[in-house]
Amino acid sequence: MSDAARLLDKKVLFFGGKGGVGKTTSAAATALQASRSGKRVLLVSTDPAHNTSDILGRPIGPEIVEVLPNLHALEVDATQESARYVEEVKVRIKALFGHAILKEANRQIDLAASMPAAEEVALFDRIGSLIRGEDDRFDLLVFDTAPTGHTLRLIRMPELMEAWIRALSRSRRAMLGVDQDDKNDPIMMSLGDRLERLREFRARLISPRVTSFVLVLNAERLPIEETARALEQLDEAGVRVGALIVNRVLPPTSIDPFLVARQAQERVYLDEIDTRFAHLPRLRVPQLPRDVHGLETLQTIAAALYQA
């Protein structure tokens, strides 16, 4: 089995890399190829720029829509997810606390929702529900992520949130006292359920059988350096990188002096990529003579990646 084909055997694929290198194109082409091989695929954009609609040539929004019989797509709206998440928290709080403190609790929730990290937490919660398989219609989830730094923060979120939940649990136990059974306390039960879901998410995220991360780059200095940093940080987080996609590789022959010079520089960087990242599968996608837009040109990219 080829390195590219192995990617399609996963249940979750993340596509990441520096902005503008072709993550959306690579993710969409992969989703299309997998769907045409018989898998039920959900392509999920978590990038605030949301280029998925442009690439697929049809509107995609915050609700799952069918693109082809085996291919669905979703553009996660962080602001909308944050509002939904806050309302769900308020519903749970209403069930846990008496009316006397509910107003103050809701005020504190609204205050927390205005903090800069609130949308990231809500986005993480949506991604987590998908990866845990709460929507069981799909065989493969393909995530088109935001630029590298934002994606790495989301991947570290389980560890950060677990530490926060443990701290809340310790405080709650201290409040209950030694004579209280925290297994019957609704707040402790809620925190325990949240902790269990986090553990399940992280277990699936770091499982090489389930999940693989694909880094996309161009044969240029800055994407190469960002890829090297991302590999190191993903390794520290316990996330396996399954392949690199080197996108927009120039055709091998040209008589134009400018292109000849560009090709000579590109060969230097391609050799560097092969040397620095020799331990990883490296897939190359040629520069097309036209923009990637619509299923026909996506199929050309898919063929370059998965049918070579």
- Is 114 domain-assigned? no
Q: Which residue has the tokens 């560009």?
A: 262
The residues, any chain, with a CB within 8 Å of residue 35's CB and separated by 6 or more, are 41, 68, 69, 70, 71
- In Å, how far are 34, 251, 258 from 254, measured between CA atoms? 34, 8, 9
pLDDT score recorded for residue 22: 93
pLDDT in tens, 240-267: 899 999 999 998 777 788 888 999 999 9
pLDDT score recorded for residue 116: 58
The beta strand positions in 91-193, using DSSP E, are 140-144
- 19: domain CATH number is 3.40.50.300
DSSP assignment, residue 288?
P
CB atoms within 10 A of CB 270: 17
- Is 107 domain-assigned? no
179 pLDDT higher than 80: no
pLDDT score recorded for residue 111: 59
Query: Which long-range contacts does 123-126 make (Cβ < 8 Å, 24+ apart)?
Result: 123/46, 123/76, 123/78, 123/81, 123/82, 123/154, 124/154, 124/157, 124/161, 125/81, 125/85, 126/76, 126/81
- Is 139 domain-assigned? yes
- Is 136 domain-assigned? yes
- Is 44 domain-assigned? yes
SS3 state at 245: strand
d(CA 302, CA 172): 52
- In Å, how far are 11, 20, 97, 213 from 208, measured between CA atoms? 10, 27, 42, 10
194 pLDDT higher than 70: yes
pLDDT in tens, 11-22: 999 999 988 899
Q: How many domains does the chain have?
A: 1
The residues, any chain, with a CB within 8 Å of residue 115's CB and separated by 6 or more, are none
pLDDT score recorded for residue 115: 60
d(CA 143, CA 47): 9
- Is 97 domain-assigned? no
pLDDT score recorded for residue 256: 82
pLDDT-above-70 percentage for the chain: 82
Owning domain of residue 42? 3-79+120-306
**Which region among 131-135, 161-165, 179-183 has the lowest average model confidence (pLDDT)?**
179-183
45: which strand partners?
75, 144
Task: Quote the pTM value.
Answer: 0.84
From the list 244, 235, 233, 237, the residue with the least C-alpha distance to 201 is 237
Contact assessment for residue 39 and residue 137, using Cβ atoms and an 8 Å cutoff: no
- Is 112 domain-assigned? no
196 pLDDT higher than 80: yes
Average pLDDT value for residue range 263-275: 96
**Which region among 100-114, 129-143, 149-163, 282-296 has the lowest average model confidence (pLDDT)?**
100-114
- Is 108 domain-assigned? no
Classify residue 204 by burial, with Cβ atoms within 10 Å: 0-12, 13-18, 19+.
middle
